[in-house]
């Protein structure tokens, strides 16, 4: 786990917002992109692991 509490909460909120926007507002390619981004944000928030943090040896967990 390399995500802190605030990081996970923000990812969950942003992921949910992206999915709502994809479902309600946009269509076409933008909808697909928002579904993917929203899903990834929710997945990383639930898992507590961001794979992009590993190559940079970064962590938001205290």
Extents of the domains making up the chain: 5-47
Max CA-CA distance within the chain? Answer: 40
- pLDDT value at residue 14: 97
- pLDDT value at residue 20: 96
- pLDDT value at residue 15: 97
- pLDDT value at residue 1: 85
Contacts for 52 with CB less than 8 Å, ≥ 6 apart: none
3-60 confidence digits (pLDDT tens): 999 999 999 999 999 999 999 998 899 999 999 999 999 999 999 999 888 888 888 8
15: closest CA among 41, 52, 34, 33?
A: 41
């Amino acid at each position: 786990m390399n995500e802190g509490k605030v990081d996970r909460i923000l990812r969950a909120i942003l992921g949910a917002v992206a999915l709502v926007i994809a479902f309600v507002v946009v269509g076409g390619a933008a909808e697909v992109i928002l579904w993917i981004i929203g899903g990834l944000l929710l997945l990383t928030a639930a898992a507590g692991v961001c794979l992009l943090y590993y190559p940079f040896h970064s962590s938001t967990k205290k």
